[in-house]
Amino acid sequence: MRTKSLKNTRHTRVVLPILAIAVFLFASGMMAEARRLIEENIVFRFAPSAERAMTYGNRYFSARAKNAYDIERAEYFYNQALVLDPQTPYLQHQLARIHFLKGDFNQALARIDLEISDNPSVSPSSFYVRGLIEGYMGLYDAAASDYEKYLVQDPKNWAALNDYAWVLLKAGRFEDARQVTTRALIDFPGNAWLLNSQAIALFELGRYQEAFESAEKAVPAVEALTEEEWLVAYPGNDPRIAAEGIATLRNSIIHNKEKIALRLSE
């Protein structure tokens, strides 16, 4: 009788503080966090599905999910989805993006090719991603072709037009690039990326004064750029590196302006 009483007391001593701490964590506004952890660690373990894995993966792979962004965890869930159902729509697309961000362009290209060939309702975004990967790989003609496929569906997307201009510039098609940026700037006259790309196209065409004017407009545009805007432009990146991304663009624009000014003074 005495032994049982002691045992009961010991259980109570252990359980009650645990419950108290659990209640404290819940009450501290961590309900959503708790739900997420329970879903991913318990629910997914007992009832796994590719769809669920995709949902969890997408949670961690968005520049707009400021606190949740975790590309490794996203990749983990996408790989889980791959095991459960490799035909899951947009799964290869997401994996391609992750490989691309990590600089593994061959893997990225293989994944996006799979997405485009296997997804019966392939998204125009998949062609955009393939264009991006090909551009980074130096396959400019292929990239231009994929960007064109995307732009057929979304002809006024400034980012797609800017990237199309990028591969055109790299392919030596300066006049085409100038025309693309000029067209895009009608709708987005204060866009720092487009102004920069247009300045380059004009410079390569020998139109230095106009190139300088465009570069000059790009400076206040990039100075006014917010982290939120940068994250819209680069949705796969860690939101905490937005400032670094803005700095890259700002430095590029200032470098270009100085170089154009130097040429004008010669």
Partner 1 sequence: MAAIREHESARGRTIARSPVFTVFALAVLAILIAGVFTQGDRERISYLEAQFADTSTSGLAIVPASCPSDPPHFTGDTGLPNCSTPSCPSGFTLVGGICVSTQCPVGFTFTNGSCVFNGCPSGYNYEDGECVLVSCPLGYALQGGACVFVGCPNGYKLVGVQCVLDIECPLVCSGKNLVNSCNGQTVQICAYQCSSGACVAAPVPEATLTAQPSLVRSGNRSVIKWVVQYVSTCTVVGSNGDSWASEGDGTFDEESGPILSETTYTLTCDALNGSDITRGVKVGIIPTFEEQ
Q: Which of residues 166-225 bind partner 1 (CB under 8 A)?
A: 166, 169-170, 172, 188, 193, 196-197, 199-200, 203-204
- Residues in region 21-50 near partner 1 by CB under 8 A: 21-22, 25, 30, 33-34, 36-38, 41-42
Count other Cβ atoms within 10 Å, centred on residue 204.
Answer: 16
Cα gap 248→227, rounded to integer Å: 13
Gyration radius of the chain over CA positions:
25
CA dist., res. 155 & res. 164, Å (int): 11
Helix 2-27 to helix 31-38 angle (10° resolution) is: 110
Tokens of 117: 């060939």
Pattern 49-78, partner 1, x by CB under 8 A: ---------x---x----x--xx-------
Q: Is 18 in the site for partner 1 (CB under 8 A)?
A: yes
- Binding status of residue 152 toward partner 1 by CB under 8 A: no
- Residue 87: helix, strand or coil by DSSP? coil
Residue 93 in the binding site for partner 1 (CB under 8 A): yes
Binding residue (CB under 8 A) for partner 1 from 106, 148, 240, 262: 240
Give whole-number Cα distances, 157 to 78, 150, 187, 192, 196, in Å.
Answer: 28, 9, 9, 14, 16
Distance in Å, CB of 82 to partner 1, minimum: 15
Minimum CB separation of residue 222 from partner 1 in Å reads 10
User: Cβ-count burial of 164 within 10 angstroms (0-12 exposed, 13-18 middle, 19+ buried)?
Assistant: buried
One residue of 83, 106, 141, 153 binding partner 1 per CB under 8 A? 153
Of the candidate residues 49, 79, 107, 123, the single one contacting partner 1 (CB under 8 A): 123
| Phi-psi region at 237: left, alpha or beta (left = phi > 0; alpha = psi -120 to 50) | beta
Instruction: In angstroms, give the least distance from the CB of 132 to partner 1.
Output: 6
Q: Is 87 in the site for partner 1 (CB under 8 A)?
A: no
Binding residue for partner 1, selected from 56, 77, 78, 128, defined by CB under 8 A: 128
Q: Is the dihedral of CA 166, 181, 128, 255 positive or negative?
A: positive
Are the C-beta atoms of residues 191 and 158 closer than 8 Å to each other? yes
Residue 90 DSSP symbol: T
SS3 for 21-44 is HHHHHHHCCCHHHHHHHHHHHHHH
Which of 49, 79, 107, 125 binds partner 1 (CB under 8 A)? It is: 125
Q: Which of 182, 183, 234, 261 is in the footprint of partner 1 by CB under 8 A?
A: 234
Q: Which residue of 65, 82, 84, 101 would you call a contact of partner 1, by CB under 8 A?
A: 101
Q: In the complex, what is the shortest distance from the CB of residue 205 to partner 1, in angstroms, rounded to a whole number?
A: 10
Q: Cα–Cα distance between 18 and 121 in angstroms, integer? A: 50
How far apart are CB 83 and partner 1 at their closest, in Å? Answer: 20
Of the pair 80, 94, the CB lying nearest partner 1 is at 94
Q: Which of 53, 81, 129, 221 binds partner 1 (CB under 8 A)?
A: 129
